[in-house]
Structure 1
Amino acid sequence: SSRSVLRGTDLTSTVGYDSIIQHLNDGRKNCKEFEDFLKERAIIEEKYGKELINLSKKKPCGQTELNTLKRSLDVFKQQIDNVGQGHIQLAQTLREEAKKMEEFREKQKLHRKKIELIMEAIHKNRNLQYKKTMEAKRLYEQRCRDKDEAEQAVHRNANLVTQKQQEKLFLKLAQTKSALEDSDRSYQQSITALEKIREEWMKEHIKACEFFETQECERISYFRGALWLHVNQLSQGCVQNDEKYEEIRKSLEMCSIEKDIDFFVNLRKTGSSAPAPVVYENYYNTQRNATPVRSPVSVPISR
């Protein structure tokens, strides 16, 4: 607004204007930094999501479990995969938000450029006219001194020179008066032109300040909203992840130790009765009962 006009004694000074432009540039840079932050966070989220998916698909985790616990583990692996997918989706969302921030920055930059070009032209015209006016003032002051010197020469030599010399002195005085009138008129015209340009500059400067203030309000509001949205997206991701983990907890509640034990027994059972006991068997009795006893054969002894 008009309160942004920084007053000073130097008409050609742009210290106040430059300070505003620097602040706006800093604000644009800050938005770019947040934009880059979102992009870096997106890379981290995507990498983490892919790692989780690879972990759930490739890493064994109780793969020989049976029945209800096996189903719980299947739910566990699937939900971890879903969590990974959620992080990848969040990464895409963050990239979209970064793109929106970039578009907002470029839009503000484009609108600002129009105002800055107008102000640059006004500053150039004002400074040029100020330079001309100061030169006209310098020439006017010099013509004043020339006239004063010519008048002093006439008075100083009134009774000391010939009439011809006096005529030369009066002629020079007349010339200096004429030159003074011309320089005075030129100086006043320059002052009038400079004042017109100054008024135009002041009007445009105030309009520019009002525009810049509106832009800065929009930027801060947009930046704050982007931060708020970002945090909400992170919170939403946590809620969605917890919902996935809740599915695992529900599955674990359905897990039954007894059912899993019974399932294993029914799957691997080898019979309904235990093996008979192994009894003692007398070797000799067993052999005698199994093999008839033969009469001994007489073998003659050689003498």
Structure 2
Amino acid sequence: MQEARFRDNFWSTDLTSTVGYDSIIQHLNDGRKNCKEFEDFLKERAIIEEKYGKELINLSKKKPCGQTELNTLKRSLDVFKQQIDNVGQGHIQLAQTLREEAKKMEEFREKQKLHRKKIELIMEAIHKTRNLQFKKTMEAKRLYEQRCRDKDEAEQAVHRNANMVTQKQQEKLFLKLAQTKSSLEDSDRSYQQSVTTLEKIREEWQKEHVKACEFFETQECERINYFRNALWLHVNQLSQDCVQNDEKYEEIRKSLELCSIEKDIDFFVNSRKTGSLAPAPVVYENYYNTQRNPTPVRSPAPMPISRRPPLPTPASASGEPDYATVDGYSLIHH
């Protein structure tokens, strides 16, 4: 199958038409617009990645997450928060990479625009020259055709009035015929010169048009290739970011594999233990028995409670108060 080329497919039968050239230029402008849109997409994605990265870093540093855990699980949580911080840093780095790629796209786009401008200026100038010469040629043709009609009318007048007019009138008719023939010859030469000049301009324009088509086709191939590679690279960067993030998450998984329930329990017990003796049983104490024997008996086996014998009745001397006892209590009588 024959490859389609710009130089073979963007012509018009109208010499002054630029429909083919305009179609190419429109396509190239659309291509530049598409590159700009992708460039803006990368910039917006960079903003999102940077914001997400900063939010992750703030989250890992400021938000409590198992801060009172101990031993191996604490170490796993420390690894977890550190790796989340690293993931955030990775997104910030990705944002910077995307900005650099957007800058490269912008430079490529502007470089193509600059090179295209040179060709466009050449084509604009030759289009203007071609159209102006075509207009002059058509005017010369119109004048030439008018002079032909004038000469034909003058010849017809001479033949038509050959035997009907005076000698002087015939001389006027012949003079007019001679003048029209002279004007015809001048207009014919001018018309032929214009056609010759137009043909030279047409050939020059045609060569420049072919060169422009080839240049624009080369640029479009470069643009598509660059755009495709930029997309490919962008996707690879996103994939690489995912791989790197998974490596960070793998560090968390590895730390969790070292997390030991038994070690954490032992660590907690040994570092926070408060004693191995439980409190003694609380025994029943009779209020009245406690009053009679203020020293509590701690023996688990109940001991028989001895009763104190009654105190002897003291002898009262004369003038002293009388004493008496009631159930072991002394009373003073006045």
What TM-score does the superposition give when structure 2 sets the normalisation length? 0.83
Deviation at 1:275, TM superposition (A): 2.8
The change in CA–CA distance for 1:97 and 1:294 in structure 2 (over 3 A counts) is closer
Secondary structure at the aligned position of 1:295 is classed as coil
> Aligned-pair distance for 1:282?
4.3
Change (3 A) 1:266 1:107: same
Partner of 1:263: 267
**How many angstroms apart in 2 are the aligned matches of 1:128 and 1:253?**
84
Distance 1:51 1:298, change over 3 A: closer
- Worse-superposed segment, 272-281 or 161-170: 272-281
* Equivalent-residue separation in structure 2 for 1:31 and 1:295 (angstroms): 96
Shift, 1:298, TM fit: 36
Distance 1:292 1:118 in 2: 121
Instruction: Give how far 1:107 is off.
Output: 0.2
> Secondary structure in 2 aligned to 1:297?
coil
| Distance change >3 Å, CA 297–CA 70, structure 1 → 2 | closer
Measured against aligned partners, the alpha-carbon deviations of 1:85-109 in whole angstroms (never above 9, x if no partner) come to: 1111111111110000000000000
For residues 200 and 38 of structure 1, the distance between their equivalents in structure 2, rounded to whole angstroms, comes to 43
CA-CA distance at 1:217 after TM superposition: 0.4
Asked whether the equivalents of residues 123 and 209 of structure 2 are also in contact (C-alpha less than 8 Å), the reply is yes
Deviation per CA, 1:136-178: give whole Å up to 9, x if none: 0000000000000000010111111110010000000000000
How far apart are residue 43 of structure 1 and its match? 1.0
SS class of match (1:290)? coil
- Could you report, residue by residue, the CA deviation over 1:225-273 in whole angstroms, capped at 9, with x for unpaired residues? 0000000000000000000000100111111111111111112211233
Return closer, same or farther for 1:231/1:162 CA change in 2, 3 Å cut-off: same
1:82-133 Cα distance to aligned partner (Å, 9 max, x none): 1111111111111110000000000000000000000000000001110000
Decide which structure has the larger Cα Rg and report it.
Answer: 2
Query: Is residue 124 of structure 1 aligned with residue 138 of structure 2?
Result: no
Question: What does 1:19-30 align with in structure 2 at a 5 Å threshold?
Answer: 19-30=23-34
Q: For residues 301 and 234 of structure 2, what CA distance do their matches in structure 1 show?
A: 111
Where does residue 204 of structure 1 map in the other structure?
A: 208
List gaps (5 residues or longer) in structure 1. 1-7
Aligned to 1:282: 286
Distance in 2 separating the partners of 1:54 and 1:183 = 87
Compared CA separation, residues 264 and 291, structure 1 to 2 (3 A): closer
Counting only pairs closer than 5 Å after superposition, residues 14-93 of structure 1 correspond to structure 2 as 14-93=18-97
Bigger helix fraction: 1
Aligned length: 295
Cα gap change, 1:297 to 1:285, in 2 (>3 Å)? closer
TM-score, length-scaled by structure 1: 0.91
The percentage of aligned residue pairs carrying the same residue is 94
In the alignment, the residues of structure 1 paired with residue 219 and residue 85 of structure 2 have an alpha-carbon distance, to the nearest angstrom, of 44
C-alpha root-mean-square deviation of aligned residues, in Å? 5.8
**Structure 2: how far apart are the matches of 1:229 and 1:167?**
90
CA distance in 1, matches of 2:123, 2:165: 60
Q: Following TM superposition, by how much is the alpha carbon of 1:9 offset from its aligned partner in structure 2, in angstroms?
A: 2.4
Change (3 A) 1:167 1:275: same
Q: Structure 1 residues 136, 272: closer, same or farther in 2, change over 3 A?
A: same
> Measured at CA, do residues 295 and 167 of structure 1 come closer, stay the same or move farther in structure 2, by a change above 3 Å?
closer
